[in-house]
Structure 1
Amino acid sequence: MEYIRNIPHESVRTLADEVRAEKGQIVSKTLAQNPYVSLTLFAFSKGEEIGTHDSRGDAMVYVLEGKGKFTVDGKEYLLEAGESLVMPAEKPHSVFAEEDFKMLLTVVFPLEKE
């Protein structure tokens, strides 16, 4: 069973090459999704955005290429390639593409109490 999917195993990859957005698009590629963690690649074309929302888990973004603006609980952060940001669980956040950009999103969800 593969826990990480949609990407070859045992193959050296450049993650930014795994997704591509055309003008007016946001493209996503899910690499892992389960009750504990979500791993998704995103490619945004300039001017595209994901509106304000929140998450049950902590969400960490790592910018692979370009520049994106992240707003967390009203505070803006401008991230460039090589930079990351943790957006805490249950805090409203949004993403805006200042220019074409790509990111890896990792969300770690709380363990459910039995």
Structure 2
Amino acid sequence: MGLRNLPTDEARSVAGLIENRPGQVSSMGLTAGGSVDFMLMAFSAGESVSEEEYFGDTLYHVVEGAADVVLPDRRVAVVAGEVFMVPARIPHAVEGHEGAAFKLLQLTIPEERS
């Protein structure tokens, strides 16, 4: 597994690597191959990811704006600079806080198999 789509010529802001596009959720994979899934995502106002369940623990790091992680029993607001983790196999959705645009890093690490 290796990293990809990251600057190697000079340092840049994470938020500046991807743009919000009206009516879309944009994503950029930051890993190539392997079992770890590392994505940068940009959500335009009103866009969301419907309820999903991942194969491993998933960390969300909001890099711009604010997002809500919607769990079966609660809604957690995560603002720029904050992180939140959802354990494996917990259904959840991600949407902009109060419908606003936002950008986030999503890192999913598979569960260990015994």
Report the TM-score when normalising by structure 1: 0.89
Answer yes or no: is the 8 Å Cα contact 2:88–2:111 preserved in 1: no
Taking the TM superposition and a 5 Å limit, the aligned residue runs for 1:26-45 are 26-45=25-44
Q: Partners of 1:76 and 1:102 in 2: how far apart? A: 18
Q: Please, which moves more after superposition, 88-97 or 31-40?
A: 31-40
Gaps of 5+ in 1: none
Q: Partners of 1:86 and 1:75 in 2: how far apart? A: 14
Gaps of 5+ in 2: none
Question: What's the secondary structure of 2:15's corresponding residue?
Answer: helix
How many corresponding residue pairs? 112
Match for residue 67 of structure 1? 66
Report the TM-score when normalising by structure 2: 0.89
Taking the TM superposition and a 5 Å limit, the aligned residue runs for 1:82-101 are 82-98=81-97, 99-101=100-102
Aligned-pair RMSD on alpha carbons?
1.6
Q: Partners of 1:100 and 1:24 in 2: how far apart? A: 10
Match for residue 54 of structure 1? 53
Aligned-residue sequence identity (percent) comes to: 29
Q: Partners of 2:94 and 2:30 in 1: how far apart? A: 20
